[in-house]
Amino acid sequence: MATTLVMQLMLLLLLPVTRVSAQEQQQVVRPGCRDKCGNITIPYPFGIGDGCFRNDGRGGFELECNDSRSTPRLTVAGNGIRITSLSIIASEARALLRATRRCYDSKGRITGRSGDTSVPLIGSHYLFSQARNRLVALGCSNLGYFVDIAGYYVSGCMAVCGPQQFIELGSCTGVACCQSTIPPAIDYYEPYVLDFTKEQTNKGIVSYSNSTTCRYVFLAE
Ligand SMILES: *[C@@H]1O[C@H](CO)[C@@H](O)[C@H](O)[C@H]1NC(C)=O
Ligand SMILES: *[C@@H]1O[C@H](CO)[C@@H](O)[C@H](O)[C@H]1NC(C)=O
Ligand SMILES: *[C@@H]1O[C@H](CO)[C@@H](O)[C@H](O)[C@H]1NC(C)=O
């Protein structure tokens, strides 16, 4: 479990104030503009290059395509969020974000960490989809959560180490893995992984035996 996970994540696009015209709904591409990055179709108002996207001063519609990779990579200009699909009809974009990871030694010291970056969507055309995303904390013992721009707790859950009979593959119900729904209209994501020390775990429900070396928190579809 030392690898860095990359998770599928849905970003909800196009707030009600950003109505898409009938013409735009037909997923037309402007003449002279790229319509694809690899196998990902790029419908207007999204676009690559000057004059190819709707430029209304808010970020999000301008995309970049890096063709020099083995699989061409589509990203949002400005924040570098990696996009894997776009749908005007569904008002959805699917993105890949790196999972937040912490690894510990037997004494509880952090031996590895990655994916600590926050994802600010404030003022852009994107929001995290409440319908599509769950916050997941994987590994134990692990309180995984995220906060908003002001630092307030938004959503999270605790994955506790325990007997294997409560670990059903693919279910994620609390032992070694937990998930929580997120509120609507979330435009900022800053993840945290909280470990529990031996002292804390001896007192309560949290078992230290069978704890995993690495713990993760991520938003997933
Ligand atoms: C696009 O390409 C990726 C990577 O090569 C592949 O996994 C995916 O299935 C393809 N999607 C479509 C719609 O062809
Ligand atoms: C495109 O990807 C290559 C390979 O990872 C990288 O070296 C290069 O800097 C990228 N180009 C841009 C413009 O990001
Ligand atoms: C630890 O894992 C072993 C083997 O899966 C299991 O038998 C044991 O009950 C677990 N211990 C605890 C405290 O959950």
In a structure prediction context, what are the per-residue pLDDT tens digits for the chain, which is 221 residues long?
334 445 555 554 443 334 555 555 555 677 889 999 999 999 988 999 999 999 988 888 999 999 999 999 999 998 889 999 988 888 888 888 889 999 988 888 899 999 888 999 888 888 898 888 999 999 988 999 999 999 999 999 999 888 777 777 778 999 889 999 999 989 999 999 987 765 565 566 666 677 888 999 999 88
Q: Is 69 in the pocket of ligand 2 (CB under 6 A)?
A: yes
Q: Is 212 in the pocket of ligand 3 (CB under 6 A)?
A: no
- Distance (angstroms) between ligand 1 centre and the Cα of 39 equals 6
Q: Are strands 214-220 and 134-138 parallel, antiparallel or unpaired?
A: antiparallel
Which ligand is in closest contact with the Cα of 85? 1
pTM: 0.82
- Distance (angstroms) between ligand 3 centre and the Cα of 179 equals 22
Of 127, 109, 111, nearest in space to 182 by CA: 127
Q: Is 39 in the pocket of ligand 1 (CB under 6 A)?
A: yes
- Distance (angstroms) between ligand 3 centre and the Cα of 178 equals 18
Q: Is 162 in the pocket of ligand 3 (CB under 6 A)?
A: yes
Q: Whose CA is nearest to atom 12 of ligand 1?
A: 39
The C-alpha atoms of residue 142 and residue 212 are separated, in whole angstroms, by: 9
Three-state secondary structure readout of 50-110: CCCCCCCCCCCCEEEEECCCCCCEEEECCCCCEEEEEECCCCEEEEEEECEEEEECCCCCE
